[in-house]
Structure 1
Amino acid sequence: MSAELLVLLIVVVTALAFDFTNGFHDTANAMATSIATGALAPRVAVALSAVLNLVGAFLSVEVAKTVSGGLLNIGGIHGMALLHIVFAGLVGGILWNLFTWLVGIPSSSSHALFGGLIGAAVAALGASGVIWTGDQKTGLINKIILPALLAPFVAALVAGLGTYAVYWLTRHSRKDRVSTAFRWGQIGSASLVSLAHGTNDAQKTMGVIFMALVARGTYTNADDIPLWVKVCCALAIAAGTYLGGWRIIRTLGKGLVEI
């Protein structure tokens, strides 16, 4: 076995390990409130989240394409050099995921991975190793920083308006009917969050593995992401979702707001 192939295998295994730790956070983000309010039993909620993460991973590859070709300026870097950058970025993301899981912090695994890759690229190539601005499909500012800054405010505004509207619409309704409707609505919304997580987060790892395969010359950027990469990433994030996440569930369900 050549040294380059060995490094590629290490990168793939490390990427799947990151995907597994990513699942720890997905469970909590999607199901913590449903468990805290009693809408779902804990084991049922975790199993449902794992299944929907698995399904969501197969729905799209747009995020994977962004990760593999829209953030780092690595067109002239191939082989071992690029594999080292990818490996270092993955290790950074995994360490942050494990730290935040141990202390129960609901952290973004997406930004942990992007931060790791960007840090590794800057360390290896300098500031030119990052695509800072670009078109709508590329660029750190367009694809990562602006959405990260806007997301909490947009989500808070939509959630606030939605809550106000629901209270107004149900102000004359019977309490038992409202409770039943809310229970099913909460299960539905939590399920959609899990599905969206699978669509988004599993694809990050797909993009990283595909980047490593391109670095070795197995594929080119014009090729489609292989099916085995999709399957492995989907299974890894689903397993992490089912087996981990209880520490962060407690933080989100009880430690931030009283539900």
Structure 2
Amino acid sequence: MIPTLLVVVIILAIGFDYINGFHDAANSIATIVSTKVLTPFQAVLWAALFNMVAYFVFTEHKVANTIAKTVLEQFITLEVILAGLIAAIAWNLFTWWFGIPSSSSHTLIGGFAGAGMAKAVTVGSSAMSAINLAPILKTVAFIVLAPVIGMMVSVIISIIILHISKNARPSIAEKWFKRLQLISSAALSFTHGGNDAQKVMGIIYVAMIAAKVLKVDETMPEWIPISCYAAISLGTMSGGWKIVKTMGTKITKVNAFEGVAAESAGAITLGITEYFGIPVSTTHTITGSIVGVGLLKRVSAVRWGVTVSLLWAWVLTIPVSATLAGIVYGIIYLFFL
């Protein structure tokens, strides 16, 4: 018989994936909406389609495996996972409400780690003994590296495109860039789905092991990836317009050429990190790419006040999520265990 708590955890996990979809929809569609290549409704349908297409390509689930190993096995219980998910959902909704493009990936990792640390304390161990430092440190490193890589790749792509099209008539070039932006935004949505849907897959997988429904070495049931990709696609279709505004206009004004460069850079960066199983933030990556195309125009083209406020949100996401999860686990421990 499947434990009721496991059912609750799975529902919350899929709910988090849905929230991740509309929270991160801006990553894929902000530039294509701001350049008026597609209407907002057309853009979310386009992004959702390619989020789902990723299911058929990303079959190794390397990112899911990394997430699943964040907390050491002996400290993983359904209560730990429940606390982590509640914290992650709370922080995601908070940042969405205020239009802050924070990382859903880091929210989930922080929540899972924080709940695991709280569990360790309740059994008389040190908080850090619950954490598998290798994947955590790799993830923390890419808080800095992902946007920097995205920025550098977007600058390189911009220079290459400018060189290729230097003799083209502006009106013809603009028309081609708008067509190319359909491809670049599709590529970004595709890699976003492949990277972000896997994070919840890892959580559901370890929850089923913790509930003894699956054995440690057992293959992940196919319904898990299907559910996660479907949830993130449906969430993307729901939009997330406050964050679209931040990403599409507040960091720097983006035209079709710059949209192609930024989206292509984001897709390339996400594809590389997914190949190596690194759970990076799609938000950080595309933000760095947008900053890159802004810098190519001039340093003052980037609204640094907005960018600095985003950086603070990025830095705070993991510790705030971890703290929230620790508090939630403490409440569960005191009143229900």
TM-score when normalising by structure 1: 0.90
Q: Deviations over 1:121-166 (max 9, x none)?
A: 1111121100113xxxxx3112x11222211111111111221222
Residue 40 of structure 2, aligned match among 29, 39, 42: 42
Distance 1:219 1:66 in 2: 18
On the 8 A contact 2:75/2:130 being kept in 1, the answer is: no
What is the CA distance between 1:199 and its match in structure 2? Answer: 0.5
Distance 1:244 1:129 in 2: 36
Residue 156 of structure 2, aligned match among 157, 161, 164: 161
Q: Deviations over 1:207-254 (max 9, x none)?
A: 111110000111123122111112211111111110131111111112
Q: Which protein has greater RCO, CA pairs closer than 8 Å, 6+ apart? A: 1
On the 8 A contact 1:122/1:129 being kept in 2, the answer is: yes
Distance 1:67 1:167 in 2: 39
2:101 corresponds in structure 1 to: 106
Q: Deviations over 1:155-206 (max 9, x none)?
A: 1111112212222221111122211221122111111111111111111111
2:23 corresponds in structure 1 to: 25
Residue 137 of structure 2, aligned match among 129, 137, 141: 141
Distance 1:147 1:124 in 2: 27
On the 8 A contact 2:70/2:133 being kept in 1, the answer is: yes
Distance 1:109 1:52 in 2: 19
Residue 57 of structure 1, aligned match among 29, 34, 55: 55
Distance 1:146 1:84 in 2: 28
Distance 1:191 1:25 in 2: 18
Query: Quick one: which amino acid aligns to residue 152 of structure 2?
Result: L
On the 8 A contact 1:8/1:213 being kept in 2, the answer is: yes
On the 8 A contact 1:57/1:200 being kept in 2, the answer is: no
Q: Map of 1:175-214 to 2, 5 A cutoff?
A: 175-214=170-209
Query: Quick one: which amino acid aligns to residue 256 of structure 1?
Result: I
Query: Quick one: which amino acid aligns to residue 146 of structure 1?
Result: A
Identity of aligned residues (%): 35
Q: Deviations over 1:24-74 (max 9, x none)?
A: 133100110011001122111100111111221342311111112x21112
Gapped regions of structure 1 (runs ≥ 5): 134-138
Query: Quick one: which amino acid aligns to residue 24 of structure 2?
Result: D
On the 8 A contact 1:26/1:194 being kept in 2, the answer is: no
Moved over 4 A (4+): none
Distance 1:193 1:171 in 2: 26
Matched residue pairs, number? 246
Distance 1:247 1:224 in 2: 39
What is the CA distance between 1:77 and its match in structure 2? Answer: 4.1
Residue 12 of structure 2, aligned match among 8, 14, 18: 14
Q: RMSD across aligned C-alpha pairs, in angstroms?
A: 1.5
Q: Deviations over 1:65-123 (max 9, x none)?
A: 1112x21112x246xxx101111111111011101111111111000100111111111
3-state SS of 1:57 partner: helix
Distance 1:246 1:86 in 2: 30
1:136 corresponds in structure 2 to: none
Residue 152 of structure 1, aligned match among 122, 147, 150: 147
1:121 corresponds in structure 2 to: 116
2:72 corresponds in structure 1 to: 73
On the 8 A contact 1:57/1:203 being kept in 2, the answer is: no
Gapped regions of structure 2 (runs ≥ 5): 121-126, 255-337
- Comparing 146-155 with 31-40, greater Cα deviation is found at 146-155
Distance 2:190 2:214 in 1: 29
